[in-house]
Each structure stands twice: as C-alpha cells, then as structure tokens.
Amino acid sequence: MRRIGIFSGTFDPVHIGHLGAAQVCLQALQLDKVFFAPFGKPLIRQADASAAQRCEMIRLTIAGHPGLELSEIDLQPKPRYAVDTVGELRQRYPDAELFYIIGADKLRDIPGWKDAARLMTMCSFAAYPRAGYDASALCEDLRDHGAHVRLIPAAQVTMSSGQIRAQLRLLSDAPGRLLPQVAEYIASNGLYQPDYERMVRQAVSPSRLLHSQGVRHTAVRLARLHGLLMQKAGVAGILHDCAKNMELGRLQFIARQARLPCDAQTMGSNALLHGPVGAQIARMRYHISDAHILNAIRYHTTGRAGMNALELVIFVADAIEPSRKYPGLGLMREQAQEDLRLAALTSLTGTQKFVKTKGLSESPLSLMGIADLRARLRHPVKEDLAY
C-alpha cells in the first residue's frame, strides 16, 4: 500500500523548517512521497506572494529531493478545507494511506475544523514539533478526539514564514531560514518589499523599466555569486535609474534644491546627474534609508574611489545586464564572475576611452575610481568585498 504525506500551507514563503519537517516525515513514516500543497486562496491571511510565486519557491526548495513533490490540489480560487484536500487525494489514491502533515502549534485547532470527525477517519496526522508547544501533550489531546496522530522525531521548528517576511522587509536574506536559491528568487522579483517596481514603472519608459528589471536580476545573481546581500542588491537594482527619464532642467532643479554636491560636469549631463538625483528621489519618494543602497544609486553613473561591494554590484550589473549589446561585453561578463573590481575597471576604462574619442572631458570621479580600482587589484584584500 502506498503511503502519502500531504503538507498543506500558505508557504509565504516556504522555508528550511518546512523542508526539514517534510524530509523527516518521509523517512520516519516511510512515505513514498510528500506533497507540498500551497493554498491558492489561504483561509486566514492573504498571501503576499502570488500562488505562482509561492509554487516556484517550493519548486526551488524541493529540487533534488526525491520523494518531495509540488501538488496543485489546493490551488483553487476559494479557500480549501483539509477535508476537501484529503477527500480529493483519497479519490486520486483510493488505496493509499494518507498522512496530513501539520505543525504542533495547529493540533489544538483540528477538532474545530470543518467535518473534523470525518477528516479523522480519512487520514492520520503527522505532527512536527514547534518551539513553545508541548507536542506530546497536544498529540494526546487529539487522540482523545479519535484521531490517529504520529509525532515526528524532528528537531523543533523554530522559524515561521511571518518572522522571515519581517527579516526580508529589513533587507536580510534570512540565512539559515531560507535556502539561498529562494532568497535569490525573492530578491530578483522584489517580493516582500514595497512594490518598487510599480513605483518605477510610473516614473520611467517601458524600455528603461526592462533595463532596470535586468539590472535587478543581474545584481542579485552577482550578489549571490560573491556572497553579498541579495535583497539590498535587488532594491538598488530596480531603483538605480529612477531619475533617468527626467529632463536635465528638472534634474538640475532637484540637485540644487537638495544641495547635492555635484561638480560642474555632472550638473551639465543627464547621463551623469541621474545618479545623484536618483539617490535623492530614492530617499525622499521611496523612503530608502540604507546608505549602501543610496550610494550604489548615487555613484552608478560615474563610479568613485572606494566603491564598496554593493556599489560595484550595481555598477557592473548596469553594464552587463541581459539587454545590453556592445563590443567587449563578453569579457566583462566573464570578469564579473571572477572579480567585480576587475569588471568595474574594464567598464570605467571603456567609458573613459569613449569619452576621449568624443573630445569630452573625463569625469574626475571616474578617474579617481579607475586609479583606486587599479590599486586594489594590485593588492587584493578579501574583506574589500563586503557590505
């Protein structure tokens, strides 16, 4: 007889605790498979991420774990009750023994669920321990109601999706709680943050938005590759060009009003001034207070001496994002995998050559940036790349 576990939930987002509990259930109960079944429309709290996004995060989490599968059984436009889910599984797998996987924190609620008595005849419950709950006693209470209950010998799950959402809002990647590939997906799609993409869409052209999305995606990928903070890279990436489509007069007005310390050359060029003014707009309109993000936006047009890792990530991502097309891009993309400083130096020197051939004067900030990067590359220090 097949033995199947069903793990229903909102998974907003799915975390390492969910993965661990499912793996222990699989082994301890000798299950053939465990289905992760996200709710299309959760009963209590509206999910922040869409059903499709929550499914994708589950796919990323269970990839490479035999026996763990995504089920779309609960992806319905109306709330689903456990008795509906289990009833449908029972029809699909009439001979299987079904285990409803649940955290110990929810055991007390089960007798109050819809058609609880019938549900208890249709499946067993597999409870995993949760911090702050006496799982053994709660299992015993549920048995008194006539349910079959197994307590899973898993370590206590101490994390919750709610805590992780709070961490993400503070621009943490929730290490040890989220798998890196899930944190990358979240940063790359701007989940669990204010909807900066919608705000930027109102401020820039469609092609600029596409570029900004490309920069966000590339910046997050580079951040993960180099062990840097992905959520910060994502926010800086989507916002970096928020002032790009403003007319020069408007940029100059904002720069003067805010008394931004810009040299004459920067003040005279949209291509340079949208960096410092973009940082100002990010601060005032989008309420960004993180100094690293603001500096990454401020200096993405010129670079500067002493760029930190996030500044380098955005500077390089801006140069190599997927929609870019110019000679030498392949080399820079390779260099970005190896060393962000090297890729940034290649980009800056390329721009310097271009500016010279056009007979324009070079940005002092860029020249100082080039000298600084050359020095840092001669004597590379690992801690150089952190933020």
Chain positions contacting Fe ion, by CB under 5 A: 241, 318
What DSSP string runs through 187-220?
A: HHHTTTS--HHHHHHHHS-HHHHHHHHHHHHHHH
| Residue 214 identity | G
Nearest to 102 by CA among 87, 88, 113: 113
**Torsion from C-alpha of 332, 336, 338, 341, nearest 10 degrees:** 90
Identify whether the C-beta of residue 222 lies closer than 8 Å to the C-beta of residue 313.
yes
Question: Helices 291-298 & 309-320, crossing angle to 10 degrees?
Answer: 40
- Is the peptide bond preceding residue 194 cis, with omega within 30 degrees of 0? no
Q: Which is nearer to Fe ion, 105 or 318 (CB)?
A: 318
Q: How far is the CB of 319 from Fe ion (least distance, A)?
A: 9
Q: How far is the CB of 239 from Fe ion (least distance, A)?
A: 10
Strands 124-128 and 149-151: parallel
Q: Give the SS3 label for residue 348.
A: helix
Q: How far is the CB of 345 from Fe ion (least distance, A)?
A: 18
Q: Give the SS3 label for residue 310.
A: helix
Q: How far is the CB of 259 from Fe ion (least distance, A)?
A: 22
Identify whether the C-beta of residue 115 lies closer than 8 Å to the C-beta of residue 90.
no
Identify whether the C-beta of residue 200 lies closer than 8 Å to the C-beta of residue 242.
yes
Q: Which is nearer to Fe ion, 74 or 241 (CB)?
A: 241
Q: Which is nearer to Fe ion, 154 or 204 (CB)?
A: 204
Q: Which is nearer to Fe ion, 355 or 377 (CB)?
A: 355
Q: How far is the CB of 213 from Fe ion (least distance, A)?
A: 11
Q: How far is the CB of 189 from Fe ion (least distance, A)?
A: 19
Distance CA 259, CA 255 (A): 6
Burial string for 292-304 (b: 16+ CB within 10 Å, else e) reads bbbbbbbbbbbbb
Q: Which is nearer to Fe ion, 109 or 354 (CB)?
A: 354
Q: Which is nearer to Fe ion, 149 or 314 (CB)?
A: 314
Q: Which is nearer to Fe ion, 74 or 318 (CB)?
A: 318
Q: Which is nearer to Fe ion, 110 or 279 (CB)?
A: 279
Please give the C-alpha separations between residue 270 and each of 45, 276, 278, 282, in angstroms, as whole numbers.
45, 11, 11, 17
Identify whether the C-beta of residue 234 lies closer than 8 Å to the C-beta of residue 216.
yes
Identify whether the C-beta of residue 291 lies closer than 8 Å to the C-beta of residue 255.
no
Provide the sign of the torsion angle of the four alpha carbons 75, 78, 82, 86, taken in this order.
negative
Place of tokens 């509206």: 46
Rg (CA), the chain: 26
Q: Which is nearer to Fe ion, 105 or 241 (CB)?
A: 241
Identify whether the C-beta of residue 138 lies closer than 8 Å to the C-beta of residue 147.
no
Q: How far is the CB of 244 from Fe ion (least distance, A)?
A: 5
Q: How far is the CB of 276 from Fe ion (least distance, A)?
A: 11
Q: Which is nearer to Fe ion, 193 or 302 (CB)?
A: 302
